């Protein structure tokens, strides 16, 4: 098997190698502006290689727009400086039942083809001494989604971080998403979607896990 064939197999099988996003040691030595300038330069070269005329008014600003979008929007979650500040509060209510945040928007990108992954996440935990603001869960999910990603890694990163923040293993995360690298290339399957599920603590018990699954499958806001 040659290297190009290996590249294709890795992409088609959606392989990942680590729970951590692969980053160079010097990944953030350059400023965002420097990165935007460099990406703009190289994306212009890609467009020119494809035969596009960048003197056209519609295309002339595309390299800059793409570069800015990569650094500031689609992949802002690569930079740990952009991680949301997550505050926790004492569980004064002594609430000990499941708390679920449902249908959290997922806008990510496949790290093998840089094509969109679009879907939603459901996150639940059973509080012990700490609780977290509901919007903070959404922000944390978005932070980990906004990077070149593999769906299995995404649920693990969200789970591990919430378990550490909340100081409990009683956390469960599910993500259901469509992958454009499946629907727009390769097999070109327009109807399939992927669901991943990770959990710890009390959610290892099938009764607790099934309670979560029943709620997210049956309770939808109109």
**And the tokens for 63?**
């390299």
Range of the domain at 22: 13-82
Tell me phi and psi for residue 49, to 5 degrees.
-65, -30
Q: What is the CATH number of the domain that holds 26?
A: 1.10.286.10
Determine, yes or no, domain membership for 3: no
Say yes or no: 100 and 73 in one domain. Answer: no
Tell me if residue 41 is catalytic.
no
Tell me if residue 113 is catalytic.
yes
Residue 134 has a pLDDT of 84
3-state class (DSSP) for residue 61: coil
Say yes or no: 74 and 110 in one domain. Answer: no
Number of separate domains in the chain: 2
Task: Report the Cα 142 to chain-centroid distance in Å.
Answer: 6
Determine, yes or no, domain membership for 125: yes
Q: What is the rounded radius of gyration, in angstroms, for the C-alpha atoms of the chain?
A: 20
Say yes or no: 66 and 160 in one domain. Answer: no
Tell me if residue 13 is catalytic.
no
Q: What is the CATH number of the domain that holds 141?
A: 3.30.1130.10
Say yes or no: 209 and 127 in one domain. Answer: yes
3-state class (DSSP) for residue 164: helix
Tell me if residue 40 is catalytic.
no
How far apart (Å, rounded) are the C-alpha atoms in residues 25 and 132?
A: 32
Residue 182 has a pLDDT of 72
- The angle that helices 151-166 and 134-145 make with each other, rounded to 10 degrees, is 140
Residue 192 has a pLDDT of 80
Q: Examine the fold and report which residue of 82, 112, 141 is the final residue of a domain before the chain moves on.
A: 82
Q: Which of 40, 151, 157, 163 is catalytic?
A: 151
Tell me phi and psi for residue 209, to 5 degrees.
-65, -40
How far apart (Å, rounded) are the C-alpha atoms in residues 198 and 19?
A: 12
Task: Report the Cα 196 to chain-centroid distance in Å.
Answer: 12
Say yes or no: 122 and 213 in one domain. Answer: yes
Tell me if residue 202 is catalytic.
no
Q: What is the pLDDT along the chain (222 residues), one digit of tens a residue?
A: 666 565 555 555 555 667 899 999 999 999 999 999 999 999 999 999 999 999 999 999 999 999 999 999 999 999 999 999 998 999 998 999 999 999 999 999 999 999 999 999 999 999 999 999 989 999 999 999 999 999 999 999 999 999 999 999 999 999 999 988 776 666 766 778 899 999 999 999 999 999 999 999 986 654
Entry pTM: 0.89
Tell me if residue 163 is catalytic.
no
């Amino acid at each position: 098997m040659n290297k190009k064939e290996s590249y294709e197999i890795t992409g088609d099988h959606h392989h990942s190698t680590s729970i951590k996003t692969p980053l160079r040691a010097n990944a953030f030595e350059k400023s965002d502006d420097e990165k935007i300038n460099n990406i703009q330069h190289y994306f212009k070269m890609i467009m020119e290689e494809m035969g596009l005329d960048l003197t056209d008014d519609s295309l002339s600003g595309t390299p800059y727009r793409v570069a800015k979008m990569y650094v500031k929007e689609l992949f802002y979650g690569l930079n740990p400086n952009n991680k949301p500040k997550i505050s926790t509060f004492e569980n004064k209510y002594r609430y000990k039942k499941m708390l679920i945040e449902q249908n959290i928007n997922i806008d990510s990108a496949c790290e093998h083809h840089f094509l969109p992954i679009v879907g939603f996440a459901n996150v639940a935990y059973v509080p012990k001494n700490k609780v977290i603001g509901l919007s903070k869960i959404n922000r944390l999910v978005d932070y980990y989604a906004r990077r070149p990603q593999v769906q299995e890694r995404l649920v693990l990163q969200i789970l591990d971080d919430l378990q550490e923040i909340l100081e409990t293993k009683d956390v469960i995360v599910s993500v259901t998403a469509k992958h454009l690298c499946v629907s727009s290339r390769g097999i070109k399957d327009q109807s399939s979607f992927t669901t991943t599920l990770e959990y710890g603590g009390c959610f290892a018990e099938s009764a607790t896990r099934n309670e979560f699954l029943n709620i997210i499958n049956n309770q939808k806001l109109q």
